[in-house]
């Protein structure tokens, strides 16, 4: 993939966004991939939301998530795009709601066995599962052992922050 690629985190003041931030302990409620499209022109975003995994003009997501933080990726990502090509159109993973409740309970109790109760569906993706799957498929160093079905926006953000890649507001 030629051109710049970004991972963008966003949030807003909706009840849903506040619940996601509260349950995950993250400042972000959504995460997506942005890339320059030679075919369609301009910046496009690939993400997972209520309508599943889709590609849309980046400004469509920006209107929903006015507070954003961007990481520009400086590693080869061809494997991530190859993987994403096969998951576009996949349904949204609503099991993430159950997993968020388990995460809250885990943070309060530190009971490791709660992980065994996590909802799993490898054919469906939440936003962070999609981005984590993209990064893992791209072979980004440090993502090899990820269980993408247990990733949330804050976990992806913490990982990228530690990488020291360039970031800012688009």
CATH number of the CATH domain containing 76: 3.90.1720.10
Query: CA dist 106 to 25, 127, 154, 156, Å?
Result: 12, 21, 15, 18
Indicate the pTM of the whole model: 0.90
- Residue 118's pLDDT is 79
- Give the chain's domain count: 1
- Residue 158's pLDDT is 93
CA end-to-end distance (rounded Å), the chain: 20
Q: Which domain holds residue 56?
A: 5-168
- The CA distance from 166 to 70, in Å, is 8
Mean pLDDT per 10-residue interval, the chain, length 170 residues: 82 94 93 92 94 95 96 91 96 82 81 82 91 96 92 94 70
């Amino acid at each position: 993939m030629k051109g710049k690629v970004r991972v963008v985190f966003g949030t807003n003041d909706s009840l849903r966004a506040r619940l996601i931030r509260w349950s995950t302990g993250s400042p972000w409620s959504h995460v997506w991939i942005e890339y320059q499209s030679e075919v369609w022109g301009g910046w496009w975003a690939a993400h997972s939301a209520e309508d599943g995994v889709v590609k849309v003009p980046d400004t469509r997501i920006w209107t929903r998530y006015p507070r954003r933080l961007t990481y520009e990726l400086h590693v080869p990502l061809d494997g991530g795009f190859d993987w994403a090509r096969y998951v576009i159109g996949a349904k949204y993973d609503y099991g993430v709601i159950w997993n968020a409740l388990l995460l809250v309970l885990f943070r309060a109790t530190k009971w490791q066995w709660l992980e065994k109760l996590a909802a799993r569906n490898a054919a469906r993706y939440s936003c962070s599962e999609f981005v984590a799957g993209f990064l893992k498929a791209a072979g980004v160093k440090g993502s090899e052992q990820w269980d993408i079905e247990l990733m949330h926006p804050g976990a992806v953000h913490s990982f990228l922050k530690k990488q020291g890649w360039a970031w800012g507001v688009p």
